[in-house]
Amino acid sequence: DFDKSRFGSKEIVYNSKSYTLNPATGEIIKEEKIWGKSEKLINAKSIAVDGSVWALDNENKILRFYTGKYQDTLEIIIFPEIENAEKIWALPALPYIYILEPCQKRIIIINKKGEIIKQFFSEKFDDLQDFVISTNGKTIWLLNSSKVYQINL
């Protein structure tokens, strides 16, 4: 169930609808129409869609939007503290959000309330670039430079 074409994807598709984040304007675009807009999204880094839209802001907080409206913010309390997360991922069938933080050489798994489930760290993760999660949530693939690492949960 590994699909390497999912690495590096800039487009988020949910229920056959395309979602795009414009961090310059703070807009979430759904099917070429403005779906939601918030100053909180200016300079945001990543979005994930699972029915809600989750956005990783420039302060490493995760904001939840539903039907185009801001709902709440998850502040993640973890050690070491998140310095510079770059990507988030969520799937409708799973109760988790996955966070990639290359500068700390780790991937973090939280529930959708912001509570820490697990974090995976390795000195081998010295050039993390991207990741994907299997649809059943049992496998994480991490793209590190030209290598792919697999974590079985």
Q: Using one digit for the tens of pLDDT, what is the confidence trace for 74-113?
A: 989 999 999 999 999 999 999 999 999 999 999 999 999 9
Does pLDDT of 147 surpass 90?
Answer: yes
Q: Which of 28-32, 103-107, 123-127 shows the lowest mean pLDDT across its residues?
A: 28-32
pLDDT at 22: 87
Tell me the mean pLDDT in the region 29-51.
Answer: 90
Q: Any idea which residue has 């675009």 for tokens?
A: 29
pLDDT at 142: 97
How does 20-54 read in b/e, with b if 16+ C-beta sit within 10 Å? Answer: ebebeebbbbbeeeebbbbebbeebbbbbbbebbb
Asked if residue 78 lies in contact with residue 85, where contact means CB atoms within 8 angstroms, the answer is no
pLDDT at 5: 41
Tell me the mean pLDDT in the region 120-143.
Answer: 96
pLDDT at 60: 95
pLDDT band at 10 (very low <50, low <70, confident <90, very high): low
Q: What's the predicted TM-score (pTM) here?
A: 0.89
- Under DSSP, the state recorded for 83 is S
pLDDT at 8: 44
Tell me the mean pLDDT in the region 112-116.
Answer: 96
How high does pLDDT run on average in the chain? 90
Q: For the chain, what percent of residues have pLDDT higher than 90?
A: 71
pLDDT at 11: 73
CB-CB neighbours of 116 under 10 Å:
13
Tell me the mean pLDDT in the region 68-72.
Answer: 95
How does 121-146 read in b/e, with b if 16+ C-beta sit within 10 Å? Answer: eeeebeebebbbbbeeeeebbbbbee
CB-CB neighbours of 73 under 10 Å:
14
